[in-house]
Amino acid sequence: MGSFRRTCAALTCSLVVIGLAAGCAHFPGGVSDSTTPINGRKYTRLGRVSSTDSLILLLGVLPISGSNSTRQAIDDATRKRGADALIDVTVEAYWQWWILFTRLATRVEGEAIRFQE
């Protein structure tokens, strides 16, 4: 019976450690009217777009991919529709933790616009 208890205790501890080692946290990054000054210029709405840029860390400290740049996420979202800018922009950052990896990401969402000549 002692062996069964030790096995159950080890299994329970393992599940607790795995549960604590994985998780997620979201942080609001901000809201903006536009990514570039409009200055009364006329524009055409192209639709909602979003993009995420992220950095992956090994053991939470060693970067192994990406850069996690807000500017890069904005540029990627703008390119998706061939837009000149974004309006009604929101930004959020979030962390995701796994046992060996951590992901820090920035998500940008907004309405793509193209300025009229």
Mean pLDDT of the chain: 84
pLDDT at residue 41 above 70? yes
Q: Taking CA 15 as the corner, what is the angle to CA 14 and CA 16, rounded to the nearest 5 degrees?
A: 90
Q: Residue 83: what are its φ and ψ, rounded to 5°? A: -85, 165
> CB-based contacts of 50: which residues, under 8 Å, 6+ apart?
77, 107, 108, 109, 110
Tokens of 111: 């309405």
pLDDT at residue 79 above 90? yes
Q: Which domains does the chain have, with CATH numbers?
A: 22-115 (3.30.110)
Share of the chain above pLDDT 90, in %: 48
Give the span between the Cα atoms of 26 and 105, in whole angstroms: 10
Give the span between the Cα atoms of 86 and 78, in whole angstroms: 7
pTM for the model stands at 0.71
pLDDT of amino acid 35: 86
pLDDT at residue 75 above 80? yes
Residue carrying the six token digits 């979030």: 94
pLDDT of amino acid 99: 85
> CB-based contacts of 73: which residues, under 8 Å, 6+ apart?
51, 52, 53, 91, 106, 107, 108
